[in-house]
Structure formats: C-alpha cells, structure tokens
Amino acid sequence: MAIDLTKCTGCSACVTACYAENNLATVGEEQMLRHRQMSWMRIERYWRGGEGGAPVRGVVTPMLCQQCELAPCEPVCPVFAAYHTPDGLNGQVYNRCVGTRYCANNCPYKVRYFNWHNFAEPGGAWEAWPSPLDWQLNPDVTVREKGVMEKCTFCVQRIRGAQNQARLEDRTVLDGEIVPACAWPSCRKTRAATTSSRLSTRNPGSRISRASSTARRPERRWPSPRPHRLSGRPAR
C-alpha cells in the first residue's frame, strides 16, 4: 500500500470505512477519554513551519498497523497469538489471545487495541450494535470478545477472497484486485491510499522506488514497516 501525503486531506473517510468493514465497536466519549478506543486507524495531525516567519501549515497522515517485516509485537506474545503469515501479514489469533497486552506495549506505532468490555453481547451494558444495527455487521469478519487484542488486518478477508476467486478461475491475482476498505472506495476523491504494482518497490520505475522519502532498507529501518508514505519531496 502507498499513502500519498500530498493528497490526503484528513477527511477520515478511511477510518469510517474501516469501522464498517471490520465490525469495530464505538465505545463512547468516556472510554475515549480513557484511551480505550477501538479504531484500527487514526488520523494523526502535525504542524510544520513557523520558524523565521514561515507560514504554519498542518500535515495529516493515516496511521494503521504497519504489518512490519520485523514486527516487535510478535515475539513478546507468550501464547503466539501474534504471528507472521506466509504472505507477510502480522496475524492475530483471537481465540488464542489471553490478553496480556505485551504486544500493545511493544508496538512502536501504538496500533493494537484491547477489548476492555464485551461489545458484542446482545443486551449487555456495553453492547455496540443493538438491533437493528447488528444487521450492518460484516459476516466475513468475526466480532471480537472481551479480553483479546485486535488490530488492522489489511482487510485479510478481502485478500483471501481475491485469492480464492483467482484459484477457482485458475489464474493469478490481478493487479489492483486486492483493495482494503481504507483505500477504495472510501478514498475515491483524492486516491491518497492505493494498492498497485505500479507503486511497488519491486517495480524499478514506480514512484516509490524513485522517491527518496520512501526509500527504505530493512537493515536500517527496523522494524521495516510495509505501507509506504509519499511526502512529495524530490528524489536525490
């Protein structure tokens, strides 16, 4: 995935799409103030300029799980609930997790979230989807229970769906066929977040390969995050 920071306006449409696609609970203002939100994505805002009379401008960047190649969240899990999938994702086994929260403590991006309450319990005190809101739940994504960690999965249900369809049709997965909810159609106005081989580091002619702002080496950029951010700075 590539995120073009020169196009991102911070509209939070990707955040909303993530909530809808992955059955994320809305926890309310009280829990938000206690930093117990369940949002797998957040929009971070920074301010640049101001030195020497330069104009001050805001910069926004979506923050999600970086699916690190050398993920520090994985080796600290005592029950191996956090693991690395063969295709490079940082997976999470919900029914294996015992809620130690070691992975959240070790995540440098702070994009792992703990279920403090049972938001899926029908009629419960913390029910997040009272009828008829439960009709909007995505049947391809499990609803997590109290006491387990959760995080962005890169919409693994869409990845597996595209792979299964390609296998049934006896072909390879097409370029652009796998698209997470945060990339399209939620970001259709600016196309700030995209997934395509034309943006891959394996393509020598891609913008990522040519842009110095996203040139990264695993041995130098531990833990080697996978989403690439284009800042618009010229290549050196």
The 10s digit of each residue's pLDDT in 9-55 is 888 999 999 999 999 999 989 999 999 999 999 999 988 888 888 88
Considering the domain boundaries, does residue 208 fall inside one? Answer: yes
Q: What's the number of domains the chain is made of?
A: 1
Domain membership of residue 236 (yes or no) is no
Is the four-CA dihedral 31, 36, 40, 43 of positive or negative sign? positive
**Domain span at residue 7?**
2-230
Residue 137 lies in a domain: yes
pLDDT in tens, 167-217: 999 999 998 888 899 887 667 666 666 665 444 445 544 555 455 444 443
Rounded alpha-carbon distances, angstroms, from residue 107 to 61, 84, 113, 173, 223: 18, 15, 11, 31, 10
Q: Is residue 36 part of a domain?
A: yes
Handedness of CA 111, 117, 123, 125 (dihedral sign): negative
Phi and psi (nearest 5°) for 2? -125, 135
Residue 59 resides in a domain: yes
**Band of residue 93 on the pLDDT scale cut at 50, 70, 90:** very high
Residue 154: closest CA among 43, 66, 232, 24? 66
Q: What is the DSSP string of 52-99?
A: GGPPPEEEEEEE-----TT-TTSTT-TT--EEE-TTS-EEE-TTT---
Q: Is residue 158 part of a domain?
A: yes
User: Does residue 38 contact residue 113 with C-beta atoms inside 8 Å?
Assistant: yes
Bridge partners of 114?
A: 149
pLDDT in tens, 106-143: 999 999 999 999 998 988 999 999 999 999 999 999 99
